[in-house]
Structure 1
Amino acid sequence: MKTILKNVLLTVVAVASVGSVMAQEQATASGEVRRIDTTKGKIAIKHGAISDFKLPAMTLVYEISPALLSTVKAGDKVKFTATHENNRYRIDEIKVDN
């Protein structure tokens, strides 16, 4: 009985791990920085549709590392790479697009 229960638990953990990997998506897009909140590590970007995320054109607030925020300011046109995972959007790379 213990062996069966152990195998079932291992299977559940394996399936859960695969599910979380599959839930992560990454996309590259461009847009305009609208607002920055350095204390909360947030940036609002107005962008066109992002098909990889199935998002229409909108202004969306992303999580972002404070180190990345030092390279941009409100009003900048930017190109960025973002990750969507667990219903959260995070900027992984961002650069001003002249």
Structure 2
Amino acid sequence: MKNVFASIAVSCALAISGSAYAAGEMGNIDMGSSGAKQAGEAKAGMSHGEIKKVDAAAGKLTIKHGPLENLGMDAMTMVFKVKDPAMISQVKVGDKIDFVAEEVDGALTVTKLQKQ
């Protein structure tokens, strides 16, 4: 009978200490700032560039840009299609922009665009 009570006491002690350990490990997780973190990540996912040429007829922009991390490309000047033709009217030569370029149907395409 003593062994049964001793086994129960040891089992309870182990269960409680395991729960306390797990709760302590969760203490470093920041659950409150996920919205701000996502907004920061979205901005961080954008590349920076300067409009060098606007070709409204072809729906293309020539952009001198920094690294395109999502595409694994270094800084250079290149031509991009635009996802939305309305983007063409938002910019002019010399404008500084933040943008996201993705490969769409085999063509590098500006999918998001913001003037700085």
Give the structure-2-normalised TM-score.
Answer: 0.56
- Map Cα deviations across residues 70-98 of structure 1 (whole Å, 9 max, x no partner): 1110100000122113431111121110x
Task: Give the count of matched residue pairs.
Answer: 71
The residue number in structure 2 matching 1:28 is 46
Residue type matched to 2:58 in 1?
A: K
Normalized per residue, the structure richer in strand is: 1
Unaligned runs of 5+ in 1: 1-26
Given that residues 72 and 95 in structure 1 are in contact (C-alpha distance below 8 angstroms), is that contact kept between their aligned partners in structure 2? no
Structure ID, larger Rg: 2
Aligned residues with identical type, % of pairs: 32
Give the structure-1-normalised TM-score.
Answer: 0.66
Normalized per residue, the structure richer in helix is: 2
Tell which has more relative contact order, 1 or 2 (C-alpha 8 A, sep 6+): 1
Given that residues 80 and 91 in structure 1 are in contact (C-alpha distance below 8 angstroms), is that contact kept between their aligned partners in structure 2? yes
RMSD over aligned Cα atoms: 1.4
Match runs of 1:42-61 below 5 Å: 42-61=60-79
Given that residues 54 and 62 in structure 2 are in contact (C-alpha distance below 8 angstroms), is that contact kept between their aligned partners in structure 1? yes
The residue number in structure 2 matching 1:74 is 93
The residue number in structure 1 matching 2:112 is 93
